[in-house]
Amino acid sequence: MERNDAILLRSLERVTMKLTKLATVVSCVCVLAMLTACGGTSGGPASPAASGDLTGTIQLWHHWSDREAQDIQDAVTAFEAAHPGINVTVHDNQDDTKIAQVAASGSDVDVMMISVNNTLGTMCKAMVDLQPYMTQDGISADDFQGMIADATAFDGKRCSLPTTTDVYGLYYNTDMFQKAGITSPPQTLDELEADGLALTTYNADGSIDTLGFNPLIGFQENYSGTFAATANVTWMTNGQSSIASDPNWTALFNWQKAYVDKIGYDKLETFTAGLGDEWDADNPFQTGKIAMVMDGEWRVAFIQDQVPDLNFATAPFPVLSGTGATYGAAFTDGACIGISSNSKHQDLAWQLVKWIAADTDTAVTLANGLKNIPSLKAAADSPNLDVPEQYKTFVDASKSGLVTTSPITLLGGDYTTPLDNFWDTYQQSDGSGLADGLAQADQDINNALELRSA
């Protein structure tokens, strides 16, 4: 592939990704209006009936597919065995937009498992308040890891409970480290940059052969949300986006831009365009084309399955010096479970929600199968949780109190889009216009929030 063609292809891929994301959010917002108009019931237990007295059929909708869908099905099968009067019809491989559409059309959705960051803010009004059920059954938000427990309520309403979470950190190739004489993982972004440059090799024509670390925003898991945890940034003040007024955001942009410039944007873009897909066996970290990446805990399972002989280790992702960020801080997002306000079987649905979210054995089994991090504290501490050394980094981070996430708002996953769009443009630029660009991102986010609230 010619250099210009590779750059053009990568740009087209980014545009397609952004348009798809925008279409998904718009669709969810439209569906939410339908759900709100339809009304539904506010939820809550009609009476403290014993779960054994409940009978009927409920519908569970979720987004997992293939092997992971079987993990959900196994949890449901165990639930049905423990609750012989309740049957569960499972609809797997359904994206959040489809789930929202079906929920709006009637009562076919009783229980839904959806994305916290991408969907909960747009769907919460159409979900049952779980707090009366939790109070009845002695379940507390304190039973779950703090940040994700907070993130799965919205606007003062406990519309969901967390199930499993994703936690992000640093993956590094230990063979490449040893060859370069690097004895420990970087703890600051400046160290990450120095190690990344030392690990980068070039072909005779000056093009990149192997890359120490890819600093480009838009590469795999490199986004404003995931990088925010490295710099102790402020997203919002008094309900308004306040990115431009936070010097830590400016410092983070400056660090990333300087790193890109030291290698060259065009070289990085051409190299990136020729890499394997993130989710396939030819993932560039797995093939040794990149020595270090930011990734989630799930990568451990991918490596075990696809390249079991790869020598690698994990560590907390480095932080930006001078910002007050503590080494060990990590970005988190994940899935949550709740009940549609249109459900006609809310008491039955609660039994399934409670089983999946708050039963320790179920939470451990799901985490072991999905290879995600359990949100339930008792599950994270369980001796039955499968914790290989590389996975332990992420379990420890989830319990550290240092995890952060992007704001959960009415905009859903589109909240960070203006900032990601500007950052993608800025990393290609001559470095001017940073203050104005951040201010414009604030304005775009605040305008979208105001429009959505109206």
Tens of pLDDT, residue by residue, the chain (454 residues): 433 343 333 343 443 444 444 444 444 444 444 444 444 444 555 444 455 578 999 999 999 998 889 999 999 999 999 999 999 999 999 998 898 888 888 768 999 999 988 888 888 999 999 999 999 999 999 999 988 899 999 999 999 999 999 999 999 999 999 999 999 999 999 999 999 999 999 999 999 999 999 999 999 999 999 999 999 999 999 999 999 999 999 999 999 999 999 999 999 999 999 999 999 999 999 999 999 999 999 999 999 999 999 999 999 999 999 999 999 999 999 899 999 999 999 999 999 999 999 999 999 999 999 999 999 999 999 999 999 999 999 999 999 989 999 998 888 888 999 999 999 999 999 999 999 999 999 999 999 999 988 7
According to the model, what pLDDT value does residue 44 have?
A: 55
CA distances from 295 to 18, 54, 85, 154, 446 (A): 20, 43, 42, 27, 29
Any idea what DSSP says for residue 428? T
According to the model, what pLDDT value does residue 51 have?
A: 53
Spell out the domains of the chain, with CATH numbers in brackets: 21-166+335-389 (3.40.190.10), 168-330+410-453 (3.40.190.10)
CA distance 438 to 434: 6
Name residues whose C-beta falls within 8 Å of residue 22's C-beta, 6 or more positions apart in sequence. 414, 417
Say which residue the tokens 């209006």 belong to: 33
pTM for this structure?
A: 0.86
Tokens of 253: 């942009």
- Alpha helices (H) in 298-414, listed in sequence order: 298-306, 346-358, 360-370, 377-380, 389-398
Tokens of 137: 């059954």
Say which residue the tokens 């639930």 belong to: 79
CA angle 413, 403, 338 (to 5 degrees): 50
According to the model, what pLDDT value does residue 146 have?
A: 85
Q: In the Cβ-directed half-sphere of 130, how many Cα atoms lie within 13 Å?
A: 32
CA distance 86 to 73: 15
